[in-house]
Structure 1
């Protein structure tokens, strides 16, 4: 059996297709469990905010069964040390930007497919992140959440085995409503 690192992008997309499911209350449980694990892992660090983001954080919204978590540290945090600690704790590093001090990791992607619990972790210095604006806008405006759901369902049919195209096709919608949320909510996430 090939290891994930040995697979081509096309093989990975076949193994990990876009799957959309009805919202489940277990997503909050998964988030709380992983939040606790992160707080224990970084007990020596100053964690400013841990947030459940993405579609699984919006009650009633169809979502990929993947819990997205935003972990925010103070600016200038020990980026490399945090990266090593997360990888030693079972996270797979996907993207790391040393200049912006950001990284994206995942957990639950196995050579046989998805694990029972799958996570994406977005590590950032404290900031006004669009993910928070978009999440709260969808929570406040259910009609926009339904529009987003319709868009995702149509894109799943077209891009089931092309995660990048699926994500790119949602970008305009996400950016439009993130900007509306910024106009309405101001800088609320800097003091959360």
Structure 2
């Protein structure tokens, strides 16, 4: 079938459905492996640590089986250099025009045509990554919040199965309320 020139052909991993699965204890091991591989690559850009955040970082929490890693760097201006350096390791840069989040630069690691990890590069003073750490810690420490979030994510994954952006946006009120209340 011929695709008209105005339509975009997306890679399979860019449009895969939202699926939430039971927690996998191996996610923590996978995250550490990714962190160990990324640290020497990102150190020249002022990175002094990489954190596993998001639902895969919370023991017992249902999640999309995609690791979320956050790494502060000195400047977001060297994204082109970082993109070239990470490409051989299966990291794909999501251009700002698509991501639309000026506070980060976003990469997706793909293996066998599936997302396995997200890398959020941020500036050290960026409040959002501090909030990601805080939200993760609240979920780890509070079983009631963790259960409510798991139920919400499961419901939203069904409702927004083919719209990752809507799925993410629909969780934001819960996250904001939790950060305010705890």
- Structures share fold, TM-score greater than 0.5: yes
Structure with the higher fraction of residues in strand conformation: 1
> What is the rounded CA distance, in whole Å, between the counterparts of 1:120 and 1:12 in structure 2?
12
Cα separation, partners in 2 of 1:106 and 1:140, compared to 1, 3 Å: same
Are residues 1:48 and 2:48 paired? yes
Task: Write out the 4+ residue segments of structure 1 that deviate beyond 6 Å after TM superposition.
Answer: none
In structure 1, list runs of 5 or more residues that go unmatched: 182-192
Cα RMSD (Å):
2.7
Cα separation, partners in 2 of 1:57 and 1:171, compared to 1, 3 Å: same
Q: Give the equivalent residue in structure 1 for 2:83.
A: 83
Q: Which moved further from structure 2: 171-180 or 149-158?
A: 171-180
Q: Deviations over 1:51-105 (max 9, x none)?
A: 00000001000011100000112357744422332234321111438x9562011
Shift in Å at residue 124 of structure 1?
0.6
Matches within 5 A, 1:35-184: 35-75=35-75, 78-96=78-96, 102-108=104-110, 113-114=113-114, 118-127=116-125, 128=127, 129=129, 130-181=131-182
TM-score (ref. length: structure 1): 0.76
CA contact (8 A) 1:107 1:119 kept: yes
CA contact (8 A) 1:79 1:101 kept: no
Shift in Å at residue 31 of structure 1?
0.5
Aligned length: 169
Name the SS of the counterpart of 1:144 in structure 2. Answer: helix
Q: Which moved further from structure 2: 45-54 or 119-128?
A: 45-54
CA contact (8 A) 2:62 2:150 kept: yes
> What is the rounded CA distance, in whole Å, between the counterparts of 1:141 and 1:25 in structure 2?
19
CA contact (8 A) 1:48 1:74 kept: no
